[in-house]
Amino acid sequence: MKLKTKKTLSVPGFKAGGVACGIKKNGKPDLALIVSDTAATAAGLFTTNRVVSPTVTVTKQHIQSAKSVRAIVANSGNANACTGTDGDRTCRDMVALTAKQLGVTDKEVLVASTGVIGVKLPLAPVKKGLPQLGGALSPKGWNDAAEAILTTDLVIKTACVESNGITVGGIAKGSGMIHPNMATMLAFLATNANIGKADLKAALKVANEHTFNRINVDGDTSTNDMVVILANGQAGNASIKKGTKAFRDFVEALTAVCKSLAFAIVKDGEGATKFVTVSVKGAKTEKHALTVSRAVADSKLVQTALFGEDPNWGRIIAAVGYAGVPVKPEKIDIAFNGTPLVKNGAPVAGLSVTALHKQMKAKDLRIDIGLGMGKASAETYTCDLSYDYVRINAEYTT
Amino acid sequence: MKLKTKKTLSVPGFKAGGVACGIKKNGKPDLALIVSDTAATAAGLFTTNRVVSPTVTVTKQHIQSAKSVRAIVANSGNANACTGTDGDRTCRDMVALTAKQLGVTDKEVLVASTGVIGVKLPLAPVKKGLPQLGGALSPKGWNDAAEAILTTDLVIKTACVESNGITVGGIAKGSGMIHPNMATMLAFLATNANIGKADLKAALKVANEHTFNRINVDGDTSTNDMVVILANGQAGNASIKKGTKAFRDFVEALTAVCKSLAFAIVKDGEGATKFVTVSVKGAKTEKHALTVSRAVADSKLVQTALFGEDPNWGRIIAAVGYAGVPVKPEKIDIAFNGTPLVKNGAPVAGLSVTALHKQMKAKDLRIDIGLGMGKASAETYTCDLSYDYVRINAEYTT
């Protein structure tokens, strides 16, 4: 399949927009809306946190019970989490107001919130902002929507691909609390493909597993995260069924969009100065490879060494050792950006530390770990841990 | 039992000392020796990391196979880990040189190293330093020994208690890589109690579980960690047996020493500005309570909020939620330094943020979490994540 990457995000039959309604104290955009012109199938994946925002509960319910969906409404600046029954009501009111304005049923509206936890979300700004947002909706309004869902993110995140008349696009927000299994991240995806609910969910699961579920910023997971996709069928293709070539093609397109958004999230991680691929090969099982890769990617000591541009493989091998997977130290290989540092558990002789330091000044770094235990492999993606990560998170609510 | 805390560490029948032998480039003390005048029983607990220094392997072997032990030799400035068969040889040579000097067998010598991983430990400084160290040994030399095992630690860590003629004392080093299950920490304990090997190990396990295994600095675990105790029986007491009051008294004394050292490690954690107790009550099982407490204590987001003196309980409840233990959000209570912030999963009304901020300026902070699921509880101890943590770890090897 030939995948065409589109610079500008737009998906046939969808409109999007974003406005500043006043939830954020700094006057930045904080209310986003994505609407399909016609009925769309929907699928979603949600945080595994046991404490969840009502937005997660409601969106799950609506996807499960509604035959089709028409819109996603989302706010930033407040996560509407841990605010008791008031929070539940605000969430349902936000849905009802959106549904009323669009002339659809409540169940046809999905909802998301992101921001500070435990502070009541005021309904008044949403009420005031929605009509304005309705007027601002446009097929090219995705960038505004992408901006209105940001919290400590620095840049908007959008992606779009097209192939054989089928377009897949989406927006995301990330920053801190990024961890496999849905962290503080939101991703809203849209496609004009004709695909049923179950097949759409199956496709989303595969795409998510190798993209959003492989990234890590700080290992924390949040109460609000979701990846949601709407498919409005306007491409007029025969309904895509699991197990067919059309399904594989669709998964490929969806994966490309998710990967682009996931990488953008890591690159814009709080205080991140490096994008780091942690590749593990030679594992007994893919699960082992993934566990080791995540242990290395999530190590504060590895992340600070990367920030310091220090080829400190000792911390990497220590993380490999505590990952909880059987390894043989004398079989472990480690390379930084293609330069072998460790062979069979011992340092490679004659390395120039100066040359290594120079290599590590690159923005994109790669750690290759060979376990010598089997043939399975996995990759995860992370960033470094910098002064700015501490600054941003020490100052967030205050 | 009345436990007397002693300001100066000394244990009858033990001598200790420390010298600068030249492993550390900055000329600071880096070689420590602890010697019992007479045969001592020994017990140890070791890192669970699958990649370990030969010092861990050798010390384990010696404790297992030797009837009694006479000395512990330890160096800082180099972990002698991941340096292949050369490292194994250096470790055994270090033991042999010490044994020869003391006129004991190799098996009667335990060995430890701490410092950078993956760099060959030179034997020459050890060879040169040992005779000097032999001359410097003294019953009051523990502070010198404590200093010679430090890496990025800022202060020496010693503790000593006495009761009914039985003294328990010890030294420790910590700093980064502190995590339950033995992180980059060393603790060398000594007692004049008369207690057999198996009972000594049993006592050490209990004491360790509630002290060293409850502290956390950065969640990383190391290749070199050990807690080792020698008991030389010079108190002349009847041999302490598990299940007796004498055993419980001994465990109490040992726990007091381990707790003092463990807390000192957290307080001197890399960049730490706060000592934080994370107490979880109302759990179904102690394991649940411990899992939740550790998730909160290890969260980068919680640790940075503590550094920022920010009562951001949203991050705490998020960590409770992702700990992996069944919880009911609507039953969760959270208090900061005794002030309830969350009751039944929702924020307490009418709190003064200014007053809370003021409270959080204290050096000692306490987070109380109630799960409302049962009667089990657990506490762990952590510190905050500061700019200095990043600075220290970004600059460590370079």
pLDDT at B237 over 80: yes
pLDDT at B68 over 70: yes
Q: Which residue out of B184, B211, B223, B277 is catalytically annotated?
A: B184
pLDDT at B334 over 60: yes
pLDDT in tens, A105-150: 999 999 999 988 888 899 999 999 999 999 999 999 999 999 999 9
Residue B183: count of CB within 10 angstroms of its CB? 29
Q: What is the 3-state secondary structure (H, E, C) of chain A?
A: CCCEECCCCCCCCEEEEEECCCCCCCCCCCEEEEEEEEEEEEEEEECCCCCCCHHHHHHHHHHHHCCCEEEEEEEECECCCCCHHHHHHHHHHHHHHHHHHHCCCHHHEEEEEECCCCCCCCCHHHHHHHHHHHHHCECCCHHHHHHHCCCCCCCCEEEEEEECCEEEEEEEECCCCCCCCCCCCEEEEEECCCECHHHHHHHHHHHHHCCHHHEECCCCCCCCCEEEEEECCCCCCCCECCCCHHHHHHHHHHHHHHHHHHHHHHHCCCCCCCEEEEEEEEECCHHHHHHHHHHHHHCHHHHHHHHCCCCCHHHHHHHHHHCCCCCCHHHCEEEECCEEEEECCEECCCCCHHHHHHHCCCCEEEEEEECCCCCEEEEEEEECCCHHHHHHHHHCCC
Q: Residue B287 belongs to what H/E stretch?
A: helix B286-298
Residue of A nearest to B221 (CA): A322
Asked whether residue A173 is marked as a ligand-binding residue, the answer is: yes
Q: Do A304 and B344 touch (CB under 8 A)?
A: no
pLDDT, position B240: 98
**Which residue in A177, A301, A312, A384 sits closest to B217, CA to CA?**
A301
How does residue B351 score in pLDDT terms, banded at 50, 70 and 90?
confident
Please state the rounded mean pLDDT for residues A65-71.
Answer: 95
pLDDT in tens, A7-55: 999 999 999 999 999 999 999 999 999 999 999 999 999 988 888 899 9
pLDDT, position A169: 98
Mean pLDDT of chain A: 91
Please state the rounded mean pLDDT for residues A65-83.
Answer: 93
The SS3 call for residue B284 is: coil
pLDDT at A182 over 80: no
pLDDT, position B183: 41
Q: Do A310 and B394 touch (CB under 8 A)?
A: yes
Q: In chain B, which residues have their Cβ closer than 8 Å to the Cβ of A121?
A: none
Please tell me if residue A82 touches chain B, with a CB cutoff of 8 Å: yes
pLDDT, position B197: 96
Please tell me if residue B357 touches chain A, with a CB cutoff of 8 Å: yes
Residue of A nearest to B312 (CA): A397
Q: In chain B, which residues have their Cβ closer than 8 Å to the Cβ of A50?
A: 320-322, 325-327, 329
B 172-231 → A contacts, CB under 8 A:
176-177, 218-223
pLDDT, position B300: 83
pLDDT in tens, B181-233: 434 789 999 999 999 999 999 999 999 998 998 887 665 667 788 999 999 99
Cβ partners under 8 Å of residue B181, min gap 6? B47, B48, B213, B221
Q: Do A50 and B357 touch (CB under 8 A)?
A: no
Terminal Cα-to-Cα distance of chain B (whole angstroms) = 50
Q: Which of A357-361, B52-56, B225-229, B363-367 has the lowest mean pLDDT?
A: A357-361
The SS3 call for residue B42 is: strand
pLDDT at B140 over 80: yes
Q: Do B52 and A342 touch (CB under 8 A)?
A: no
Out of A84, A221, A395, closest to residue B346 by CB: A84
Q: Do A318 and B395 touch (CB under 8 A)?
A: no
Q: Residue B172 belongs to what H/E stretch?
A: strand B166-173
Please state the rounded mean pLDDT for residues A263-288.
Answer: 91
ipTM score: 0.75
Please state the rounded mean pLDDT for residues B246-257.
Answer: 97
Please state the rounded mean pLDDT for residues B261-283.
Answer: 90
Boundaries of every domain in chain A: 4-267, 275-395
pLDDT at B396 over 60: no
Asked whether residue B184 is marked as a ligand-binding residue, the answer is: yes
Higher pLDDT, A298 or B168: B168
Q: Which residue out of A59, A184, A191, A277 is catalytically annotated?
A: A184
pLDDT, position A181: 43
Rounded distance between C-alpha atoms, residue A51 and residue B330, angstroms: 9
pLDDT, position A9: 97
Rounded distance between C-alpha atoms, residue A266 and residue A178, angstroms: 8
How does residue A218 score in pLDDT terms, banded at 50, 70 and 90?
low
Interface residue of A48, A50, A223 to substitute, partner B, most B CBs within 10 Å: A50
pLDDT, position A183: 41
Q: For residue A226, report the phi and psi dihedrals to the nearest 5 degrees.
A: -160, 150
pLDDT in tens, A303-313: 888 888 888 88
How does residue A177 score in pLDDT terms, banded at 50, 70 and 90?
low
pLDDT, position B248: 97
Please state the rounded mean pLDDT for residues B345-371.
Answer: 88
Q: In chain A, which residues have their Cβ closer than 8 Å to the Cβ of B389?
A: 300, 304, 390
Please tell me if residue A65 touches chain B, with a CB cutoff of 8 Å: no
Asked whether residue B398 is marked as a ligand-binding residue, the answer is: yes
In chain B, the percentage of residues whose pLDDT exceeds 70 is: 95
Cβ partners under 8 Å of residue A138, min gap 6? A15, A16, A17
Establish whether domains B4-267 and B275-395 are of one fold. Answer: no
Terminal Cα-to-Cα distance of chain A (whole angstroms) = 50
How does residue B50 score in pLDDT terms, banded at 50, 70 and 90?
confident
CATH number of this structure's domain B275-395: 3.10.20.340
pLDDT, position A398: 42
Residue of A nearest to B308 (CA): A394
Q: Do B314 and A116 touch (CB under 8 A)?
A: yes
Please state the rounded mean pLDDT for residues B306-322.
Answer: 86
Q: Do B321 and A49 touch (CB under 8 A)?
A: yes
Q: Do A396 and B332 touch (CB under 8 A)?
A: no
The SS3 call for residue B316 is: helix
A 220-279 → B contacts, CB under 8 A:
220-223
CATH 3.60.70.12 fits A4-267, yes or no: yes
How does residue A216 score in pLDDT terms, banded at 50, 70 and 90?
confident
Q: In chain B, which residues have their Cβ closer than 8 Å to the Cβ of A317?
A: 51, 82, 117-118, 223
Tell me if residue A184 is catalytic: yes
Please state the rounded mean pLDDT for residues A318-344.
Answer: 92
Q: Do B82 and A347 touch (CB under 8 A)?
A: yes
Amino acid sitting at position B38:
T
pLDDT, position B132: 96
